Structure 1
Amino acid sequence: MPVRRPGLIRHRRSAVAAALTAALALLLTLPGAATAADRPHRPDRGEAYMGMGVAAHDGVGGLPSDSRAAQTEGVDVSSHQGNVAWSTLWNSGVKWAYVKATEGTYYKNPYFAQQYNGSYNIGMIRGAYHFATPDTTSGATQADYFVNNGGGWSRDGKTLPGALDIEWNPYGAACYGKSASGMVTWIRDFVNRYKARTGRAPVIYTATSWWKQCTGNYGGFGSVNPLWIARYNTTPGELPAGWGYYTMWQYTSTGPTVGDHNKFNGAYDRVQALAYG
């Protein structure tokens, strides 16, 4: 029986390891090879926020061009902003705000009270929004969760109707694994349930390119649900089918002050009118 020499075995193992390392290094230099830096970061559940996919999919442009039409500045915030200095925003000209309340049926914004009540106390007209995850539970179930956790409405002149944030899926497939008709059904279930619970039709926040991709550019919500369009450019651009005009426009995620910045399509009295219903 041959005698195995430990030194020779160690030498052979080292040679094999070196060869494998060299082969891996060669593969990573080939065209199209993926590295850790190339792989997109997938956030944890609950970390999504309004406009998270807009810059990645639609790009980033300039600030809005000057317009003679009256517009009113607003912001939207989530847990990413933490405790917000609402007096600073108010003094900069921001008069309305939306605050993330919920996501799916598994997440509530831990900063919601400070953000929602703080904006109200400084004098802003404010509302709450829900980040939709159509692949986890039904639209009606998520509408109930939203209303039960800060997304309600009251006719006090300072509360905007809740907003449904429906956009690219930060956790997986862009359309959450749904067909265009399936997505339309999900959205319809949400808006119908929200209106049944609150008496108000919710605002729909989306981007035109996502709407085309994931609903087939369905045009059936425009006559009832106010549109909040997301486009980081000098103009809102093309709107989704069914809407002849936008109510709000998220024009940047890199504003001069905290949060994403938005224009309300009208003077302050029109913001009040939406709040009163």
Structure 2
Amino acid sequence: MPVHRSGFTRLRAFTTVTAVLLAILALPRATPAATAAAPDVPPRGSAHMGMGVVAHDGQDGAPTHRTAWTEGVDVSSHQGDVPWSALWNSGVRWAYAKATEGTYYKNPYYTQQYNGSYDIGMIRGAYHFATPDRTSGAAQADYFVDNGGAWSRDGMTLPGVLDMEWNPYGDTCYGKSQSAMVSWIRDFLDRYRERTGRHAVIYTATSWWKQCTGNHAGFAADNPLWIARYASTAGELPAGWDFYTMWQYTSTGPTVGDHDLFNGTVDRVRALALG
């Protein structure tokens, strides 16, 4: 009799599993349209200056008056080898190249971009795309300086730029509170000043700055502002700054998409380079 009960138990278990499998197969399958798509997260290192501007702030018009401004461009690995002679012939006189991101990425085209702009006669500099959720501000400043972000008083080298904008890899403010974000930025800026003797430029958009720093006004006295806004005017500036030094006004410019205006003539660009 024990053998008979054991066989009966196995038969009942088999019947139950079969019923469950048949029930699952009978469920309606989700169509592709009904299935939630995975977030479109770019690979680490692919971030670049202004990549979130259109999605968050839109794009509306372009500047019409440029008499006292000097045209510039910013580039990253997305542009590859840049045709600097074509940009020079179009009136571009200054440039920034992405050097680093976080403490894990170096732009493989940096040498061609940084040296090529210099060789054609442009005043140029380097920028760092910040990822405050990864490592400290000081660690990222060191990585930046050690990998292209240093400065020299030659009249052709602009101070380094700290690119603070929307996180393309996750939470907009990198999971930081407003006060923690301000502390991270200060940590980066203090170390950059310690390493180079220069105050870094801050690149940002007003809407991001308000959301992620609480519109902190404490950096305006020392750090020049590079504002991002794709419109006919630079619009409202972050708290503390009465004027911008540079303005990224489009991501769809000629030859290289990201075009910028320096708030002054080329002699003022050189003055910033000299410190």
What TM-score, normalized to structure 1? 0.89
Residue 24 of structure 1: CA displacement? 1.7
CA distance in structure 1 between the partners assigned to 2:261 and 2:95 by the alignment? 11
Q: What are the superposed Cα offsets for residues 115-156 of structure 1, whole Å, 9 maximum, x if unpaired?
A: 000000000000000000001111011000000000000010
SS at match of 1:76: strand
SS at match of 2:202: strand
8 Å CA contact retained: 2:247, 2:262: yes
Report the equivalent of 2:63.
Answer: 64
Misfit runs of 4+, over 4 Å: 12-16
**Matched letter for residue 85 of structure 2:** S
Report the equivalent of 1:24.
Answer: 30
Give the unaligned 5+ runs of structure 1: 4-9
Report the equivalent of 1:214.
Answer: 212
Report the equivalent of 1:147.
Answer: 145
SS at match of 2:99: strand
CA distance in structure 2 between the partners assigned to 1:156 and 1:183 by the alignment? 33
Q: What are the superposed Cα offsets for residues 17-67 of structure 1, whole Å, 9 maximum, x if unpaired?
A: 3x43x3423xx76xxx5643xx54101110100001111111111111325
Segment drifting more, 200-209 vs 254-263: 254-263
Between Structure 1 and Structure 2, whose CA radius of gyration is higher? 2
- 2:82 pairs, out of 79, 84, 89, with 84
CA, structure 1 residues 14+65, in 2 after alignment: closer, same or farther (shift >3 Å)? farther
Residue 258 of structure 1: CA displacement? 1.3
Aligned pairs for 1:176-191 (under 5 A) are 176-191=174-189
**Matched letter for residue 48 of structure 1:** A
CA distance in structure 2 between the partners assigned to 1:261 and 1:15 by the alignment? 59
Aligned pairs for 1:115-194 (under 5 A) are 115-194=113-192
Give the unaligned 5+ runs of structure 2: 1-6, 12-17
Q: What are the superposed Cα offsets for residues 167-200 of structure 1, whole Å, 9 maximum, x if unpaired?
A: 0111110000111110000000111110111010
CA distance in structure 2 between the partners assigned to 1:133 and 1:34 by the alignment? 31
Residue 259 of structure 1: CA displacement? 3.6
Aligned pairs for 1:219-238 (under 5 A) are 219-238=217-236
SS at match of 1:205: strand
When the two chains are superposed, the root-mean-square deviation of aligned CA atoms in Å is: 2.2
8 Å CA contact retained: 2:250, 2:257: no
Residue 15 of structure 1: CA displacement? 8.4
Residue 273 of structure 1: CA displacement? 0.4
Report the equivalent of 1:49.
Answer: 48
SS at match of 1:262: strand
SS at match of 1:190: helix
8 Å CA contact retained: 2:220, 2:240: yes
Paired residues, number = 263
**Matched letter for residue 192 of structure 1:** D
Residue 166 of structure 1: CA displacement? 0.6
